[in-house]
Structure 1
């Protein structure tokens, strides 16, 4: 019988502060978010690729500060109320509609005037955000930036494990180790590989073993990722 990883697989995405795994790749970001009371000018831009843990760190900040979390794509409604909490997170600012720029501009100024804190997240730096409102663009570009680096082997293993947990998957131990040794070292690749394994295992009614992992990694290479 194939050896299986033995864990208590959660029934939801684990985003509690104690679930966050710190390694060399994200230690600086974790330390900066945790030191939220001392952010320069009361704001911080958290930058990292998809799957790097930005949303998880936002929830760490929420736990520490009581912050309200809003997705930038939801800020297009002109009737949206001002921030309700003393601190605010706006996630994925690249998705901010132009109709929401005025709201974010006033929220920024309100938090600054009241001593609140603003955490914004994105995959790219503020200088690359497509913000049409000049006053908001200048304020975002003046925000201190902290980046989550590419995953080291320790973090890659933790992210891979979490992706399996979030999907309620229990891979063969040898398949897990095979993936760690052979997959591309990026957060995007982890998300893609686990999603493909989930779909393949369900469609073919197969366990996640080395042969299936090999098929998925071969497909990854064929797709040029």
Structure 2
């Protein structure tokens, strides 16, 4: 249930960059979602869901939207600590939205109907697949506009890898990026993990080194395809 707490007491999702590329790379995998959020909430509907696989950049895109419209950002079950007075009539971002309890979700959807209100729900599964027990909430979630994002394509994954290397002041050999794009899992986390592993070798980052690091971790299913 939404509790009455001050803005300074609330637990929020930080809007600053925390290892995510400050410049959002638009490509086929995210262009439709980015275009929709560029217009929303001026577009139709006050509540919308942004969904997609882990590491596809949905939280990053949602943060950019929150910064643009001045939304209050909350995370999962922490939304229950928010003050309804502070939320009414303003945009709200709820990441990991499927972890919020039914009553909180129901109240957030209602609050978004006030003038100036909007609610962006971010999750891996669509709200239509969330496990909820309140019938009225079920019907509202089923009626939501859902915008899907796909796993990073070659262009986005290449940009993420270059950004992770740049953060560590590493200039990889010319063919390393293309080699990694074809072999690592398509997520921002996988890109960060492989760059960290390569950096830990304290050697020039070449295709030979990349192959050695990948072959040394054949069972890392979360990292490699």
Per the TM alignment, residue 58 of structure 1 is displaced from its structure 2 partner at its CA by 1.2
Q: Distance in 1 between matches of 2:21 and 2:158?
A: 17
Name the counterpart of 1:192.
190
Per the TM alignment, residue 199 of structure 1 is displaced from its structure 2 partner at its CA by 3.9
User: Structure 1: any 5+ residue segments left out of the alignment?
Assistant: 1-10
Give TM-score, length-normalised by structure 1: 0.77
Name the counterpart of 1:134.
135
Name the counterpart of 1:74.
78
Which of 210, 214, 218 is the matching residue for 1:213?
210
User: Structure 2: any 5+ residue segments left out of the alignment?
Assistant: 1-16
Answer whether contact 1:73 1:95 (CA < 8 A) is retained.
yes
Which of 85, 88, 95 is the matching residue for 2:92?
88
Per the TM alignment, residue 116 of structure 1 is displaced from its structure 2 partner at its CA by 1.4
Q: Distance in 2 between matches of 1:81 and 1:35?
A: 27
**Number of equivalent positions:** 203
Q: Judging changes above 3 Å, is the alpha-carbon distance between structure 1 residues 23 and 161 closer, same or farther for their aligned structure 2 residues?
A: same
Q: Judging changes above 3 Å, is the alpha-carbon distance between structure 1 residues 171 and 53 closer, same or farther for their aligned structure 2 residues?
A: same
Q: Distance in 2 between matches of 1:21 and 1:161?
A: 12
Structure having the larger proportion of residues in helix: 1
Per the TM alignment, residue 193 of structure 1 is displaced from its structure 2 partner at its CA by 4.6
* Residue 34, structure 1, aligned to residue 38, structure 2: yes
Q: Judging changes above 3 Å, is the alpha-carbon distance between structure 1 residues 206 and 88 closer, same or farther for their aligned structure 2 residues?
A: same
Q: Distance in 2 between matches of 1:39 and 1:45?
A: 14
Per the TM alignment, residue 33 of structure 1 is displaced from its structure 2 partner at its CA by 0.6
Q: Judging changes above 3 Å, is the alpha-carbon distance between structure 1 residues 162 and 143 closer, same or farther for their aligned structure 2 residues?
A: farther
Q: Judge which range, 44-53 or 134-143, deviates more.
A: 134-143
Give TM-score, length-normalised by structure 2: 0.77
Q: Judging changes above 3 Å, is the alpha-carbon distance between structure 1 residues 171 and 39 closer, same or farther for their aligned structure 2 residues?
A: same
Q: Judging changes above 3 Å, is the alpha-carbon distance between structure 1 residues 94 and 106 closer, same or farther for their aligned structure 2 residues?
A: closer
> Over the residues paired in the alignment, what is the CA RMSD in angstroms?
2.6
